[in-house]
Amino acid sequence: MATIHDVARVAGVSISTVSYALSGKRSIADSTRQRIDDAVQQLGYLPNAGARMLKGTRTNILAVSAPLHAGTYAPAHMTFVLSVATAAREYDYDVLLLTQDEATSGISRVAQSSLVDGIILLDVSNEDPRTDLVRRLGLPATVVGVPAETDGLTCVDLDFERAAEMCVERLVDLGHTDIGLLGQAPLVYKRGSNFPPRFRSAFAQMGARLGAHTTFAPTDEDSASVVAAFDRISAALPEMTALVMHCNEPVQSMVLEILRQRGIRVPEDLSIISACSTFDTDHLNPPLDVIPLPADKSCTRAIALTMEQLAGNVDPHVELIEPTYVELGSTSSVTH
């Protein structure tokens, strides 16, 4: 492996000149820079990561803590991990993956051995031990999601409350007064995951405020549960004309399947909105109006915030991303 010494020798300069030429921190004669660039090219030189970590104050590595909880939808999880990795590369950062048990203990380990410059926390629950940990470590860190206690934390997330409100507002505007909400797995609400309850209660409140009847049912991923949940909602709201789905892709396609079987037409008989979904709803049958959960946006912002923390100019705060509504034809106004 070529070192900076090799480059210096080939270019006929000292190593400090090479270093300055590459970092651009001091002015270098054009001719010299050219020779150095050539040597670098020829030798395929890349600075040794260890040496750079040791000397410089940066490791150019970020830890991403991504435990896979039961009830977490794997594709969504994956989408976030990938988005973080991609966003990090924009700043010349690599990503170290901490999962499972290591998702918590690994944080201390990599922080104390100065392996990483910062930490990204994914899939935080309300009372997440990792939040205290990063507070204590004092390392730049950004949480994707909003835990119960956000003091001293930098967080980014979709504005789930606003998203729920947008769903209700739109449907009420279209004349709907009986609106169901199909939620995630019961476990998700119990485990203390943060956004599902947030969405659920904002939904109920907005419904109450605008004078609509709403009801809620969680569901597991198997078809029996989905049918049961749908029936429960239908029973509670016999006049239901609109349904908001805040759940996984398989569940959403099962619901559409149930509707087809029962001859319930979308949107003529039932208006449907897919809320906070990480997947494309336009290949569903029919395509569903959706408020996307923008993993790329959240993660890009999370990385940007972490970089700002590294630069030292940002105070802990919570940033909520404004939801957007995408119309694909699965809602219509009520016609009596």
- Which residues bind to its own copies, rule: CB under 8 A? 1, 44, 46-55, 59, 61, 64, 68, 74-75, 77-79, 81-82, 85-86, 89, 94-100, 102, 106, 109-110, 112-115, 222-224, 249-250, 253, 257, 261, 283-285
Pick from its own copies, DNA, none: which does 150 bind, CB < 5 to 8 A by kind?
Answer: none
Residue closer to DNA by CB (options 42, 333) is 42
Closest by CA to 120, choosing from 106, 55, 278, is: 106
- Say how far apart CA 173 and CA 333 lie, in whole Å: 8
Q: Minimum distance between the CB of residue 59 and DNA, rounded to whole angstroms?
A: 12
Quote the CA–CA distance of 310 and 123 in Å, as a whole number: 22
Task: Report the nearest approach of DNA to the CB of residue 144 (Å).
Answer: 30
Residue 25 interacts with, from its own copies, DNA, none (CB under 5-8 Å by kind): DNA
Among 10, 17, 40, 107, binds DNA (CB under 7 A): 17
From the list DNA, its own copies, none, pick the one residue 3 interacts with, judged by a Cβ distance below 5 to 8 Å according to partner type: DNA
Q: Rank residues 120 and 217 by Cβ distance to its own copies and give the closer one.
A: 120
C-alpha 161/C-alpha 206 separation (Å) is 9
Task: Dig out the tokens for 235 from the structure.
Answer: 């029973």
Whether the Cβ atoms of residue 298 and residue 321 lie closer than 8 Å to each other: yes
- 271-277 β-sheet, strand order: 213-217, 178-182, 242-245, 271-277, 289-292
Q: Phi and psi at residue 116, in whole multiples of 5°?
A: -125, 155
Look up residue 83 and give its two tokens. 């988005």
Q: What share of the chain is helix, strand, coil (3-state, %, to 5)?
A: 45, 15, 40
74 binds, among DNA, its own copies, none (CB under 5 to 8 A by kind): its own copies
Token pair of 93 as six digits: 């950062």
Element (H, E) at 98: strand 94-98
Number of residues that bind DNA (CB under 7 A): 32
CB of 19 to DNA, least distance (A): 3
Toward its own copies, which CB reaches closer, 79 or 277? 79
Compare residues 43 and 264 and give the one whose CB is closer to DNA.
Answer: 43
Candidate residues 39, 40, 45, 65; the one interacting with DNA per rule CB under 7 A: 45
Tell me the one-letter amino acid at 28: I
Q: Are 217 and 152 in contact (CB under 8 A)?
A: no
Q: Does 312 bind DNA (CB under 7 A)?
A: no
The answer to the question of residue 41 lying near DNA (CB under 7 A) is no
Q: What does the binding site for DNA look like in residue numbers (CB under 7 A)?
A: 1, 3-5, 12-17, 19-20, 22-23, 25-29, 31-33, 45, 47-48, 50-52, 54-57
